[in-house]
A and B are shown apart, each in its own frame.
Chain A
Amino acid sequence: DVKVTQSSRYLVKRTGEKVFLECVQDMDHENMFWYRQDPGLGLRLIYFSYDVKMKEKGDIPEGYSVSREKKERFSLILESASTNQTSMYLCASSLDRRTGSTFGSGTRLTVV
């Protein structure tokens, strides 16, 4: 089974801090994704990457950046955390468009 591991389940950070969310997958998938999930809004794509050092903006990239230095690892960076970034963050990876994505367990981030 593909495993997608997110380093933290719960995180509390202060406004203005730089925050790193880490995600690692173990099945050599090319594609990796970061979503945020908010009640009533479903999952919204922040960024995705289709190869090492390659990235594309999703639907809501403002206030975020990403890093993919190795194939198995995809990091989400909040440059200066704000309270409106309090949310559940989900990482996913996929082989191709037919297989669907495998998700991590999520990181619930609270910015105070």
Chain B
Amino acid sequence: AQSVTQPDIHITVSEGASLELRCNYSYGATPYLFWYVQSPGQGLQLLLKYFSGDTLVQGIKGFEAEFKRSQSSFNLRKPSVHWSDAAEYFCAVVRGGGNKLTFGTGTQLKVEL
């Protein structure tokens, strides 16, 4: 069965520092991969997605992610973090031939000023 692992439950970075959030998936074929962000008390907002083509994808709010098939990873990056980026981040993969998403357990990002 498809699964998604986010190994870091909490991450703290200083404002202005670079950020990388890890995501590993298990899936036989080329997966459909997504990163979402959730601000406190809110729903999830789509940051970026990958399903084919260039393995480096750009998203909203200055985020990017790189698909690495050999490592089964889809890590999220940002060169310089802003205090407003403090939120919870979820990686997700579409299962099988349908539209259902499997989510990781999330990474809580704290930004120190």
Partner of B98, one of A97, A99, A103: A97
Proximity bits, A36-55, B CB within 8 Å = 1, else 0: 00001111110010100000
Say yes or no: A97-B99 contact (C-beta < 8 A), given A40-B105, A42-B90, A42-B106: yes
Taking CB atoms, residues of chain A closer than 8 Å to B99 are: 31, 48, 50, 94, 96-97
Taking CB atoms, residues of chain B closer than 8 Å to A102 are: 46
Partner of A103, one of B9, B43, B49, B105: B43
Q: Does B100 contact A (CB under 8 A)?
A: yes
Say yes or no: A41-B51 contact (C-beta < 8 A), given A96-B99, A97-B32: no
A42 touches B100 (CB 8 A): no
Which residues of chain A (86-112) have a CB below 8 Å from chain B? Answer: 90, 92, 94, 96-106, 108
Q: Does B44 contact A (CB under 8 A)?
A: yes
Say yes or no: A58-B100 contact (C-beta < 8 A), given A40-B105, A98-B32: yes
CB distance from A3 to the nearest CB of B (A): 11
B103 touches A43 (CB 8 A): yes
When C-beta atoms are compared, the residue in chain B nearest to A101 turns out to be B101
How many chain B residues sit at the interface, stated as a range, is 20 to 34
Complex: how many Å from CA A75 to CA B42? 19
CB distance from B64 to the nearest CB of A (A): 16
Taking CB atoms, residues of chain A closer than 8 Å to B105 are: 40-42
Q: Does B14 contact A (CB under 8 A)?
A: no
Complex: how many Å from CA A96 to CA B109? 29
* B32, B42, B44, B106, most chain A CB atoms within 10 A: B44
Q: Does A33 contact B (CB under 8 A)?
A: yes
Taking CB atoms, residues of chain B closer than 8 Å to A101 are: 44, 46, 101
Complex: how many Å from CA A37 to CA B100? 16
Complex: how many Å from CA A69 to CA B96? 27
Q: Does A24 contact B (CB under 8 A)?
A: no
Taking CB atoms, residues of chain A closer than 8 Å to B42 are: 105-106
When C-beta atoms are compared, the residue in chain B nearest to A40 turns out to be B105
Taking CB atoms, residues of chain B closer than 8 Å to A41 are: 105
What are 6 A-B pairs at a CB distance below 8 A?
A40-B105, A43-B44, A92-B44, A96-B99, A104-B43, A108-B41
